[in-house]
Amino acid sequence: MFGKILVANRGEIALRIIYACKELQIPTVAVYSEEDRHSLHVRFADEALCIGPARSQESYLNIPSIISAAEIADVDAIHPGYGFLAESSHFAEVCETCGIKFIGPSAGVMELMGNKARAKKKMSEVGLAIVPGTGIIKEADGKLEQMTAEVGYPLILKAAAGGGGRGMRVVTEPEQLSNALAIAQSEAESAFGSSDIYAERFLENPRHIEFQILADQHGNVVHLGERECTIQRRHQKLIEESPSPFISEELRQELGQKVVLAMKAVGYENVGTVEFLFTPDGSSYFLEMNTRIQVEHPVTEMVTGLDIVKEQIRAAAGEKLRFAQQDITFRGHSIECRINAECPEKFTPSPGRITAFHPPGGPGIRVDSAAFTEYLVSPHYDSLIAKLIAHGSDRQEALARMNRALDLFVIEGIQTLIPLHKKIINHPDFIEGQFDTSFVSRLNS
């Protein structure tokens, strides 16, 4: 097992990793920007080192500063969390070169599967249906119109090096393409350090469902079931749940087996999610793979009883999986609401100081957050301030507990999405499981 782990992230995911390390009795090192010096991940880590100013490019995306901190603290592993450098194959390669274990896939597999365009090609080769799309596109290629014409309209531009809705633009006609590409490239460069963009056919009114996988370094791969991620705004997830109200047990087994075989074919290790779009007729298409821990991993933890962060640390340390596929069981139903610091009507950021913070509790409730009273929500980072997770014996009980928890969640001083979440989970169509990715835009229009 590792002697010391550096946590190359901030906020609730940095705390989540620290919690897992404490249970495994592994000392941790936090890195932080100047703006985050009073954050909880800095307080609760065993050591903490400042790596730069507030701007992400100069701190949490600054590879030389992070590696320097790792060498100063004499760590033998780095956990990237999600976002920032979590899907950077270059960062993983630098870690490997420096003799530091990157807690995630190898640099080579990450380069293959973390790049959305290359991943689609590989998954097509191993038998998964894919949405028609392009390779990396650039305005200067002179082939822009030809490449996108083969895809057809409407199409969607996507960042090849990341996800989370950043670097995405829907284009409905050729005249919009050049401007949309420039905006998507700028967003992608800012968020992921790469401006690579690809295009694919935009499927209207689909459902977004992902399978959680876990793999060790010895060829063992299991899936931990699916998560329904359809409730989104601007291509960013708002609510996730497991199991999906759309997936039958037969389809779960069929797709799960295909996902496991695909991951074995590419030699995948550690955690990741294989994501699909489902059209109204039930057809499924491989969308992308996230080669990291997901924001919504607590949903799966609640229904499986597994600590996914601890399992990925064990896998990175070279341990074999402690269970086979037949050992994975699913208990009840879990739902997660992302509580963002945003205006619930316009989704505009609402940075500022939290003047009161009281998370809910009670049976079946979990809150993952790094916020507290007097916490300053910075405009420099993601707007996520808490993840509210409810678990029940079935979906009805999980929804009832989520309703209760949303009513009792006190956050003052800033605007949050709590009113929107209450509106969504009480909508008859959501209660019946009848929704698609356009649900929120229709609800908020």
Q: Is the dihedral of CA 165, 346, 339, 85 positive or negative?
A: positive
Rounded to whole angstroms, the Cα distance separating 86 from 100 reads 15
Length of the chain: 445
Separation CA 98–CA 28 (nearest Å): 19
Round to whole Å and give the CA distance between 154 and 121. 21
DSSP 25: T
Q: Which residues are marked as active site?
A: 292
Q: Would you put residue 343 in left (φ > 0), alpha (ψ -120 to 50) or beta?
A: beta
Distance of alpha carbon 433 from alpha carbon 243, whole angstroms: 11
Residue pointed to by tokens 């597999």: 109
CA distances from 19 to 23, 122, 294 (A): 6, 36, 16
Cα–Cα nearest to 12, from 354, 341, 371: 371
Angle at the Cα of 264 from the Cα atoms of 259 and 266, rounded to 5 degrees:
100
Could you give the strand order of the β-sheet that contains 28-33, starting from the edge strand earlier in sequence? 47-52, 28-33, 5-7, 77-79, 101-102
Q: Say how many CA atoms lie within 13 Å of 62 toward its Cβ.
A: 20
- Count Cα neighbours of 351 within 13 Å in the Cβ-side half-sphere: 7
Q: Which residues, at least 6 apart from 410, have a Cβ–Cβ distance to it below 8 Å?
A: 356, 357, 358
Q: Measured between alpha carbons, how far is 27 from 6 in angstroms, rounded to an integer?
A: 9
SS3 368: strand
Q: Which residues, including other chains, have CB under 8 Å from residue 256's CB and lie 6 or more apart?
A: 211, 223, 225, 226
Do the beta carbons of residue 365 and residue 413 sit within 8 Å? no
